[in-house]
Amino acid sequence: MKRTVTTTEDVLDLLDELIAPLTDHGNWWDRFYAERNRDVPFFVDKPDENLAAHLDQGLIPPGARVLDLGCGPGRNAVHLATRGFDVDAVDLSATALAWGKERAAAADASVRFHHGNIFDVQLPHASYDVVYDSGCLHHLAPHRRISYLALLDRLLAPGGHFGLVCFAAGEMGSERPDAELYREGVGLEGGLAFTEDELRHVFREFTEVEIRPMAARGAESATFGQPFLLTAMFRRTPR
Ligand SMILES: C[S@@+](CC[C@H](N)C(=O)[O-])C[C@H]1O[C@@H](n2cnc3c(N)ncnc32)[C@H](O)[C@@H]1O
């Protein structure tokens, strides 16, 4: 059939094909995670420093339901579970999830890992007190921000928190305007960089709790911190 576009979802699928095929079901990421000894900063088994700080400040109530989007090998999900939260974690890569399950077992932590695309995976809870994303959004094509905001609208409980880590503009990632990514056919150039104001704009329906560069953390630290990343915490307006 040559004429297929009749819905917004059809347009989003069409743009996926043009810019960033998700159709390999994580195979690219499976290859990325196949060799665990590579010098990839986020392969360390430590939680994000911003997440650990917010937990230490008591921002998240005990026992909260947390959803980790693009959890990779589960370093944040496992940490959250060891601190008593009820954790679901989703990733496209089965290889990453197998690694995450090993980490969870080693930490005696209970995480429900789900294999699939964040936009269509089946989850056990209808809503979450916290949605956390460390490094997933910046790998999504611009048009998928529409799907991402819809996902938050569906899954984040009123009054709940949304935490994000992404490439910081000026430090790492592509700073091309959205339109140019499609027009020039350059894909996502390894991930998109955001400024603090761009995050404020994308998540303008939420209340800003904090937006700041991630603090650098060395090998001796119990937490992960790289200054080429930006961290954000937002709160959804309570009903
Ligand atoms: C930069 S890695 C970060 C992994 C992990 N959050 C961490 O910080 O250690 C990005 C992850 O997002 C996952 N991902 C990207 N797009 C996704 C999608 N549409 N649905 C589910 N996972 C996705 C990739 O498989 C990858 O594991």
Nearest CA to ligand 1 atom 13: 70
Q: What angle do CA 139, 29, 168 make, to 5 degrees?
A: 30
What is the reported pLDDT for 22?
A: 54
Whether the CB-CB separation of 125 and 112 falls below 8 Å is answered with no
Residue among 154, 134, 128 at smallest CA distance from 63: 128
Q: Which residues pair with 210 in a beta bridge?
A: 233
What is the reported pLDDT for 26?
A: 66
Whether the CB-CB separation of 126 and 206 falls below 8 Å is answered with no
From ligand 1's centre to the CA of 136, what distance in Å?
5
Residue among 43, 47, 39 at smallest CA distance from 221: 47
Q: How many helices (H) and strands (E) does the chain have?
A: 8, 8
Nearest CA to ligand 1 atom 4: 72
What is the spatial distance between Cα 50 and Cα 40, in angstroms, rounded to a whole number? Answer: 19
Which tokens is 77 given? 């999900």
Distances (CA, A) of 179 to 22, 125, 234: 19, 36, 27
Query: In this structure, how many other beta carbons lie within 10 angstroms of the beta carbon of residue 159?
Result: 12
What is the reported pLDDT for 97?
A: 98
From ligand 1's centre to the CA of 2, what distance in Å?
33
> Per-residue confidence of the chain (239 residues) as pLDDT tens digits?
889 999 999 999 999 988 876 556 668 999 999 999 999 999 999 999 999 999 999 999 999 999 999 999 999 999 999 999 999 999 999 999 999 999 999 999 999 999 999 999 999 999 999 999 999 999 999 999 999 999 999 999 999 999 999 999 999 999 999 999 999 988 899 999 999 999 999 999 999 999 999 999 999 999 999 999 999 999 999 97
What is the reported pLDDT for 23?
A: 55
What is the reported pLDDT for 19?
A: 87
Which residues lie below 8 Å from residue 204, measured CB to CB, with a gap of 6+?
Answer: none
What is the reported pLDDT for 47?
A: 98
Mutate to test the pocket of ligand 1, among 22, 29, 146, 165 (most ligand atoms within 8 A of CB): 29
Report which secondary-structure segment, H or E, holds 42: none
Query: In this structure, how many other beta carbons lie within 10 angstroms of the beta carbon of residue 42?
Result: 16
Nearest CA to ligand 1 atom 11: 70
How confident is the model over 11-21, as pLDDT tens digits? 999 999 888 76
Report which secondary-structure segment, H or E, holds 65: strand 65-69
What is the reported pLDDT for 25?
A: 65
What is the reported pLDDT for 205?
A: 97
Model pTM score? 0.97
What is the reported pLDDT for 52?
A: 98
Nearest CA to ligand 1 atom 6: 71
